[in-house]
Amino acid sequence: MAGIKIDPASATALRKMVEEAERIALISHTAPDGDSVGSSIGFAAMLREKGKFHISVIIPDDIPQYLYCIPGANKVIVHETHPSEAEKALAEADLVFCMDFNAPHRVAGLQSALESSSAPKVLIDHHLYPADIFTLSFSYPPLSSTSELVLRLAKAIGMESCLTQDAATALMTGILTDTGVFSYSSSDPDLYLLVADLMRAGADKDTIIRNTFQQNSEGKMRMQGYVLYEKMTLLPEMGVAYFTLSAEELVRFHNRTGDTDGLANLPLDIAGIEAVCFLREDKNQIKLSFRSTGNYPVNTLAENFGGGGHKNAAGGEFQGSLQEATEKLLKIWKDFNPKNYDNKNQQ
């Protein structure tokens, strides 16, 4: 499976931790997406099927509306709206799973509570450069998603029989959203064997796609048209594109959590465009979302903005105005040559 094998000693240690744990918390990153939510809820469902009944899934801020179709999403504890409940669940846990993030700052307002927890912390993630703070780490950047890794881990520790229909649906959602319905980060043939396992367990691929990709609000659709017609700037000589959205523009289109998901991918459908940056005004900072195709390493670009991610999908932040962020981006792009980077080991 893509040359990936779960270390037997680590699998044994994980199995022992799960068997001994009485209260388990699963925590994922801020700005939750389909993979962070799907992997957390899916693994939690499998743990419950195994007989672990004191399970809490915790996220820093609210789930995008389109992900509430995942069975169990309405039971997730959101720190932003229920801080005491989230921190209490984390403090009482005797085992903590850190899902789909590689460093504690990625849980935003929960960072202090996470670092203060005396429970063993198990990392389950597929991002590059994990922090060295975890009791046990399962970090596999070549994989399509953390949801895929959850299923591989479940098999490695003898939990494959715990794959319920609800768990399969959650994990399938994570894989579909993190691969753009198998349009990137999904070249490993063995991924599709795992997808087949999920479908046999009851995951309805077509329904999941319809619920997550085809239930857009009117505002989101109009915002997409606005971006493509008025906001998108192409730099064909560099093979890149970018666009910005101010706070006022987001309000104009009645932006909801998750409505800007996927916007950065749109210009990649233009012939000759290899990389895109979407700059969005967010509270007291500018958020940058990078997307690319092929071997264009946008995670390297994102590092200039204090961020990172995968070769074809990354993000960063900038303290200042949209204009200042755009000027910095263009200056970096002017001197950036993707061919100067070794992409073989990046994902």
As a whole number of angstroms, the distance between CA 151 and CA 6 comes to: 11
Q: What is the pLDDT of residue 28?
A: 98
Whether 8-213 and 218-340 share one fold: the answer is no
For the chain, give every domain's residue range.
8-213, 218-340
Domain 218-340 matching CATH 2.60.40.1250: the answer reads no
Q: What is the pLDDT of residue 49?
A: 98
R_g (Cα) of the chain, nearest Å:
20
194 with 151: CB under 8 angstroms?
Answer: yes
DSSP state string for 316-334? EEESS-HHHHHHHHHHHHH
The identity of residue 280, as a single letter, is R
Q: What is the pLDDT of residue 104?
A: 96
The pTM is what? 0.91
As a whole number of angstroms, the distance between CA 230 and CA 214 comes to: 24
Mean pLDDT by 10 residues, the chain (347 residues): 81 98 98 97 99 98 94 97 98 98 95 97 94 96 96 98 99 96 92 98 98 92 97 97 98 92 95 98 93 93 92 93 98 91 54
As a whole number of angstroms, the distance between CA 215 and CA 226 comes to: 19
What distances in angstroms separate CA 128 from CA 115, 140, 234, 345, one per listed residue? 21, 8, 29, 10
Looking at domain 8-213, its CATH class is alpha beta
Q: Which two tokens stand for residue 114?
A: 């996470």
